[in-house]
Amino acid sequence: MSARHGTITELAPRLASGALSAVVLLDECLAAIAAHDRDLGAILALDPHAWSEAEACDRDARDGRGRGPLHGVPVVVKDNIDIAGLPTTSGCRGLAGAMPFRDAAQVARIRAGGAIIVGKANLSEFSFEIRSRSSLGGDVRNPFARHGTSGGSSGGSAVAVAAGFAVAGLGSDTGGSIRVPAAYCGLVGLRPTHGLLDIAGVAPLAPSTDTVAPLTRSVADAALLFEVMGGSVSPDLIEGLRVGVLRQAFGVHPEIAAACERSCAILADAGVEIIDPVALPDDILPFGRAHIVDAEFADAFDAYLAANFLPGTAPCNLAAILADGSHLPDYRNDLGRRLRERAHGRDAILAYHAELRAELEGMMRAHRLDALLHPTSVVLPETLDNPKVGWAPELAACSGWPALSVPAGTSMQGVPIGVELLARTRTESTLLGLGAAIERGVGPRRLPPLPT
């Protein structure tokens, strides 16, 4: 297997020791982009400094100077996260020249950890949806089923990691934007506790639920990248933990349900006590309700435009983008409505979030649970339009709790299936321990069937 398909934990020690050249690894990634991205649409821009950074990594390795836990590892960054010297476009034509003042806090962190930034990844424009389609990059196609979406909004980052364009990715998750693409692309996606990681330099969608998050090929990689980003992971024995099966969130797809059942069996074999089923009251479910994005996006994004970019490089506000039509036509109505209804209903939406969080906490206490398990998505991607993934990914967003999507199987058509674990605030270590057990039971990651 080519080195570009390896994990961080496999590659970083070899890169730091000089056993593997960072230049050679980067060249493999760039060659894969050149060969396959015309069909997949994952990459919006390449970092022109990547190759010189790889050379510097190799020089340091020869001199016995490791750069950190990500030494020489190629990482792709969702194009709503600032990189100095490259536009931060959020996928929008109106922001094609928007030059940020500096690296986002998390880009600075992974650079300090030794990572090489390959470039910026395509996304759902403004991070609006759970497909990935933008006026700058078009659709991001699933590398396992190119007739279907990659998921969104961090779909370009997910496809880049799955296809070997980079070894890991940075994205954001407001309502499922890391976890759904991870599930559809056979990756691990960690949504951290809301507010735990610094999101400075990340374009806002809804600050009350926005997070910045890693996309990786293994649970160990997710833990490592999470720590580099400012999180904390401690060894967490899973034997004796209690996991509740949120069966009301399963949907009707038989292969997805079967993957969840297998995950429960794997955890049970590892000594986890499975509590099946548990349920929330139907009237509290995050289904058919007003969404916090509608209330927060316009004000937050206008403030970001006003403060984030070098003078003269970005429009002054969303109204200017809407007026000149330099956006995805699909979003004209949504942009207009969100501009008209600024902050409408925000207090009521946040009160509902608090109510849902209390119900979740009550259910966890009543059953003495350490985590919940449910499908990441109740459907598999069949078209390039928005998949109806179900309401379960919103549980983490509304509660602020961390969640982890891990690969749990593959459909008969070869599309990955993800299972999601949800746990209380700042219990990422519990999620990662449970996810690692599922990962071991499911077996090696499958590679997408790309032409050689």
Contact 25, 15 (CB under 8 A): yes
Q: How far apart are CA 429 and CA 344, in angstroms?
A: 37
pLDDT given for residue 262 in this prediction: 98
The answer to whether 153 is a known catalytic residue is: yes
Q: Would you call 406 helix, strand, or coil by DSSP?
A: strand
Give the active site residue among 21, 124, 127, 153.
153
Domains and CATH numbers, the chain: 3-442 (3.90.1300.10)
Check residue 313 and give its pLDDT: 98
Please name every residue paired with 169 in a beta bridge, in sequence order, or none if there are none: 76, 215
Instruction: Round to whole Å and give the CA distance between 266 and 46.
Output: 40
Q: Which of 90, 132, 134, 177 is catalytic?
A: 177
Residue 443: phi, psi to the nearest 5? 105, -175
| Choice among 21, 78, 157, 399 that is catalytic | 78
Longest dimension (CA), the chain: 62
Backbone dihedral angles phi then psi of residue 46, each to the nearest 5 degrees? -100, 145
The confidence score (pLDDT) of residue 1 equals 73
Whether residue 177 lies in the annotated active site: yes
Tell me what pLDDT residue 112 has.
98
3-class SS at 144?
Answer: coil
Residues in Cβ contact with 141 at an 8 Å cutoff, skipping those fewer than 6 apart: 39, 40, 41, 147, 148, 149, 150, 159, 384
Q: What is the pLDDT of residue 139?
A: 98
For residue 407, say if its preceding peptide bond is cis, omega within 30 degrees of 0: no
Angle between helices 332-340 and 292-308 (to 10 degrees): 90
First to last CA, the chain: 12
- Comparing CA positions, the residue from 425, 392, 288, 291 lying closest to residue 350 is 291
Provide the pLDDT for residue 236. 76
Q: What's the burial of 360, exposed, middle or buried (CB within 10 Å: 0-12/13-18/19+)?
A: buried
* Peptide bond between residue 218 and the one before it cis (omega within 30 degrees of 0): no
pLDDT for 339 equals: 96
Where the chain has pLDDT below 50, the residues are: none
CA distance 126 to 142: 20
Are the C-beta atoms of residues 421 and 435 closer than 8 Å to each other? yes
CB 107, CB 214: distance < 8 Å: no
What integer pLDDT is reported at residue 451 of this predicted model? 82
Mean pLDDT of the residues in the chain:
97
Helix (H, G, I), strand (E, B) or coil at 383: coil
